[in-house]
Structure 1
Amino acid sequence: MAEYGTIRDVAGSAAANIDAGLRAHMNKVYGTMSVGMFITFLAAWAISGLAVTTDPSQAAAQMPNGKLLTSLGVALYASPLKWVVMFAPLAFVFGLSAAINKMSAATAQTVFYIFATVMGVSISSIFLVFTGYSIIQIFLVTSIAFAGLSLWGYTTQKDISGWGSFLIMGVIGLVVASIVNIWLASPAIMFAVSAIGVLIFAGLTAYDTQRIKTEYVAHAHHGDTEWLGKAAIMGALSLYLNFINMFMMLLSLFGNRE
């Protein structure tokens, strides 16, 4: 009986350590993601401020909604450079995913923050197209929805790992449809992509949260702090992308334009 009690105490202590480690791991994931979000929106706001002017003598072009663009604004939104700005975040995601095993956790975190800055430049046009109140309103709605979905993914006892392949195929379909619609410019396709995209990234938010939790529990016994550090960065990247995409699609659906 004494031996059984000792084994039970050891098992209980190990479980408690894993629970404490999991909380710290998830805090790091959400903390890194939150810093990335702050950097993104700060960069987007700053760049949009440099891209627009109220002085006609400094204007290089005028948008259909009447906003005057500086030479920087023209370069970012009306020149071939816009394609680089548009697809740069996608290239960063693929590059970070491919090179993460060769990086240290600190380097991966720095690259993630650089990526967040590039994403901010890429989405900076929202401050030229949508009203500031609308952007804040949709951001708050997205935050509430994201928090609820992530909490459900973390606490549910249901195994939703089977959602992964279906959701990833959905994301690929969205990317293809979005690229095709760059040339078609169809409002119907844009509406469909945004509506379906909200559902897909909502599902990915819950799925990725559970995946991050499951991966930590599976590797916690090995004590590989370097791997866990990089796993936290990649987890933050996954949730960050889900949030940004859900926000942009909700803004496209319900945002008030200038």
Structure 2
Amino acid sequence: MHSLTQTQSVTLRSFLGRTFSWMTAGMVMTAIAAWFAVTNEGLFSFVRSNYFMLVLLELGMVFGLGFLINRISAATAGIMFSIYAVLNGLTLSGILLAYHVMGGSGPSPVVSAFITTAGLFGTMAVVGYTTKMDLSRFGTIFFMGVIGLVIASIVNIWIGGSALSMVISVVGVILFCAITAYDMQKLKEMALSGGDGFTQSEMGEKMAVFGALNLYLDFINIFLFLLRLFGGGRSNN
């Protein structure tokens, strides 16, 4: 890859800055929503009673944002992402509480998984930003990997084997680490192909929100798979 011009460097830094700002905001909203849910008995009861409805709403927000990103305004995209982040915090609250309690008096699996996730995510984001390898050729492989992972997870619900669960978790961590690098490279190429003023444009802001959603999903999936590994290992001791 050729060295970047000063204008390209400014555009790239600005776009990625907006993207990671949105991602960080989403993570904060998720954490706050989860905290409110576990500390408010009424809200926690509501989440438990309407869990599947909330999950369906989450999926609707994710797919809706993906399908409508070219038709909606940047403000609407930001609102949809924010709603999704809050809903995700609510639906994750029960899982986070269960694993936190599992930690007992020792280090919480939630904290350990989060710190490890941050390290892995940051490393793979740097790899995706700096690598000269064209990762787009692996897009289909990653997509099929995610489909296979979903199918294996559904099968594991019925089988309930700890060995299979561990394999799924390890594969999930590896797969979404790779997807993080893939998404990061796509965002870099998007910014560079957008031209001057891309970051300040309506489309640039929408793409920053959409890019934040992709990176957010990568981070959350790595975190959840690691949480299963750390929690499972602790439970077996």
Task: Write the distance in 1 (CA, Å) between the matches of 2:37 and 2:43.
Answer: 9
Alpha-carbon offset, residue 158 of structure 1: 1.8
Whether the 8 Å CA contact 2:23–2:213 is kept in 1: the answer is yes
Q: What's the secondary structure of 1:124's corresponding residue?
A: helix
- Of stretches 113-122 and 213-222 in structure 1, the one that deviates more from structure 2 is 213-222
2 CA distance for matches of 1:180 and 1:227?
40
**Is the aligned partner of 1:110 residue 2:79?**
yes
CA contact (8 A) 1:45 1:127 kept: no
Query: Counterpart of 2:225 in structure 1: which amino acid?
Result: M
Asked if the contact 2:11–2:196 (Cα under 8 Å) also holds between the matched residues in 1, the reply is no
Deviation at 1:184, TM superposition (A): 4.0
**What is the rounded CA distance, in whole Å, between the counterparts of 1:189 and 1:84 in structure 2?**
28
Task: Name the CA shift for 1:72/1:27 in 2 (closer, same or farther; >3 Å).
Answer: closer
State whether structure 2 residue 35 is matched by structure 1 residue 45: yes
Percent identical pairs in the alignment equals 37
Q: Deviations over 1:171-215 (max 9, x none)?
A: 112222323434444433322221111011000000100010011
Q: Tell me, what secondary structure is at the counterpart of 2:70? A: helix
C-alpha distance in structure 1 between counterparts of 2:56 and 2:92, whole Å:
11
Change (3 A) 1:27 1:117: same
Q: Rg: which structure is higher?
A: 1
Which residue matches 1:100?
A: 69
Q: CA RMSD in A?
A: 2.2
Alignment of 1:164-175 (within 5 A): 164-175=139-150
Alignment counterpart, residue 21 of structure 2, candidates 31, 34, 42 = 31
Structure 1 unpaired stretches of 5+: 1-11, 52-70
- List per-residue Cα deviations over 1:194-243 (Å, max 9, x = no partner): 11110110000001000100111112258581211111111111000000
In the other structure, the counterpart of 2:228 is 252
Matched, 1:22 2:12: yes
Of the two structures, which has the highest relative contact order with CA contacts closer than 8 Å and spacing of 6 or more?
2
Unmatched tracts of structure 2, length 5 or more:
102-107
Q: CA deviation at 1:119?
A: 0.6
Q: Indicate the larger mover: 87-96 or 109-118.
A: 87-96
Partner of 2:194: helix, strand, or coil? helix
Q: Does the Cα contact within 8 Å between 1:197 and 1:249 map onto a contact in 2?
A: yes
Q: Per the alignment, do residues 175 and 91 of structure 1 end up closer, same or farther by CA in structure 2, a change over 3 Å counting?
A: farther
Whole-angstrom CA distance in 1 between matches of 2:159 and 2:47: 21
1:107-256 to structure 2, matched below 5 A, reads 107-131=76-100, 133-221=108-196, 223=198, 225-255=201-231, 256=234
Render the CA deviation track for 1:64-110: whole Å, top value 9, x for unaligned: xxxxxxx6545533x4x222233432222111111111211121111
Amino acid at match of 1:48: V
Cα 1:185–1:85 change in 2 (3 A) is farther
Q: Tell me, yes or no, if structure 1 residue 76 matches structure 2 residue 47.
A: yes
CA contact (8 A) 1:194 1:252 kept: yes
* Partner AA of 1:76 in structure 2: V
CA contact (8 A) 1:89 1:122 kept: no
Separation of aligned partners in 2, 1:35 and 1:219: 24
2:104 aligns to what?
A: none
